[in-house]
């Protein structure tokens, strides 16, 4: 019965959590920004949030419904490795396992010529704030979600643990993309536990050596483990160039161009086979 209640309330909880976290982050961005954003914020937000509406349902709402349904199914059929564990350890194991998988999927999106054009839409934003959170091409979550969902069945977590993980995902994604300046001691402490805005902003730096680092999507644990964690000072955070070396014009952020951008990026990467395509630290050359 508890699992059924969780399943029925999961969508509404995602809606309210997303709204609350976005509102809180926007207020903090207004009063404690890390960077001065360029002009044309209404243009950026209009296009980012329009694209976000297309990708958010798949990456946030749809994935939550799927995770909770799979957890409910595994509970009913008593399958999975963690069926007798409590919700808290189930949540932690699910978080660690999905983030390990996500880390390598993220690296694949940067390294493989057929995947990078989709992910480049997210990296093409020349400013990073809460509106960047769901600036993903709608096809990107459709490729990554089927790889992560089977973990819920394998682990056999409860619907409550699955929902807690998905709500944590919603909050952490918005937090990591927000243009917030945390107090230095707090930022230094948090960046080993959760993705802080400063830690993730390095991943959006236009320099390839930084773009191809800090691959964690919710937690930084595996960047430290596999040696891909990079940090930049507060002063560098305020002045470093974000985005990519292409798709930098304001017109490139128009919604129709964002949806078609993978075709343009693929052309810029060259019509060569993926194995032969020259790379700059894992990112295809223009």
Q: Which pLDDT tens digit goes with each residue over 157-187?
A: 999 999 999 999 999 999 999 999 999 999 9
**CA 257 to centroid of chain Cα atoms:** 21
**CA 254 to centroid of chain Cα atoms:** 21
Question: Is 275 inside any structural domain?
Answer: no
What is the spatial distance between Cα 233 and Cα 209, in angstroms, rounded to a whole number?
16
Contact (Cβ atoms closer than 8 angstroms) between residue 226 and residue 255: no
How sure is the predictor about 1, in pLDDT bands with cuts at 50, 70 and 90? very low
Residue 2 has a pLDDT of 61
Question: Is 77 inside any structural domain?
Answer: yes
Question: Is 193 inside any structural domain?
Answer: yes
Between 203 and 10, the more confident residue is 203
How sure is the predictor about 269, in pLDDT bands with cuts at 50, 70 and 90? low
Residue 9 has a pLDDT of 80
Question: Is 16 inside any structural domain?
Answer: yes
Contact (Cβ atoms closer than 8 angstroms) between residue 125 and residue 132: yes
Average pLDDT over the chain reads: 88
Distances (CA, A) of 18 to 71, 74, 249: 22, 27, 29
Residue 132 has a pLDDT of 96
What digits encode the pLDDT tens for the residues 77-121? 888 899 889 999 999 999 999 999 999 999 999 999 899 999 999
Residue 5 has a pLDDT of 62
What are the structure tokens assigned to 214, written together? Answer: 């800090």
Residue with tokens 């643990």: 161
Residue 210 has a pLDDT of 95
Contact (Cβ atoms closer than 8 angstroms) between residue 178 and residue 29: yes
Q: Is the dihedral of CA 155, 159, 160, 162 positive or negative?
A: positive
Calculate what percentage of the chain has a pLDDT beyond 70.
Answer: 91
Q: What is the pTM of this model?
A: 0.89
The pairing of beta strand 279-280 with beta strand 283-284: antiparallel
Question: Is 251 inside any structural domain?
Answer: yes
Considering only 17-21, 38-42, 189-193, 258-262, which range has the smallest mean pLDDT? Answer: 38-42
Mutual angle of helices 139-148 and 116-123, in 10-degree steps: 110
Question: Is 19 inside any structural domain?
Answer: yes
Contact (Cβ atoms closer than 8 angstroms) between residue 97 and residue 19: no
Residue 23 has a pLDDT of 95
**CA 276 to centroid of chain Cα atoms:** 29
Q: How many CA atoms lie within 13 A of 227 on its CB side?
A: 0
C-alpha angle 234-214-33 in degrees, rounded to nearest 5? 35
> How many domains does the chain fold into?
1
Question: Is 283 inside any structural domain?
Answer: no
What are the structure tokens assigned to 72, written together? Answer: 């409910």
How sure is the predictor about 283, in pLDDT bands with cuts at 50, 70 and 90? very low
Calculate what percentage of the chain has a pLDDT beyond 90.
Answer: 70
What digits encode the pLDDT tens for the residues 48-88? 999 988 888 877 888 888 999 999 999 888 888 998 899 99
In terms of residue numbers, what domain contains 164?
A: 2-270
Q: How many CA atoms lie within 13 A of 90 on its CB side?
A: 26
């Amino acid at each position: 019965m508890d699992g059924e209640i969780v399943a029925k309330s999961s969508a509404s909880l995602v809606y309210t959590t997303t709204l609350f976290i976005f509102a809180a982050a926007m207020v903090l961005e207004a009063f404690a920004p890390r960077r001065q954003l360029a002009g044309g914020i209404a243009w950026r937000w209009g296009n980012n949030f329009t694209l976000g509406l297309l990708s958010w349902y798949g990456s946030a709402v749809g994935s939550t419904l799927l995770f909770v349904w799979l957890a409910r199914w595994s509970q009913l059929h008593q399958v999975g490795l963690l069926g007798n564990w409590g919700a808290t350890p189930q949540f932690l194991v699910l978080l660690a396992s999905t983030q390990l998988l996500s880390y390598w999927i993220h690296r694949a999106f940067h390294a493989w010529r057929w995947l990078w054009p989709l992910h480049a839409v997210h990296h093409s934003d020349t400013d990073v704030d809460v509106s960047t959170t769901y600036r993903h091409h709608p096809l990107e979550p459709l490729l990554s979600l089927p790889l992560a969902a089977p973990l819920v069945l394998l682990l056999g977590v409860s619907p409550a643990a699955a929902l807690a993980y998905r709500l944590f995902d919603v909050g952490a994604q918005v937090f990591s993309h927000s243009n917030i300046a945390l107090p230095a001691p707090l930022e230094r402490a948090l960046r080993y536990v959760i993705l802080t805005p400063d830690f993730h902003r390095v991943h959006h730096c236009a320099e390839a050596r930084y773009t191809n680092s800090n691959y964690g999507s919710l937690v930084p644990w595996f960047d430290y483990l596999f040696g891909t964690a990079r940090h930049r000072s507060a002063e560098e955070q305020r002045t470093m160039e974000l985005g990519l070396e292409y798709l930098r014009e304001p017109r490139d952020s128009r919604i129709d161009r964002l949806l078609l951008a993978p075709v343009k990026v693929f052309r810029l990467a060259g019509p060569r086979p993926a194995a032969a395509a020259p790379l700059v630290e894992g990112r295809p050359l223009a």
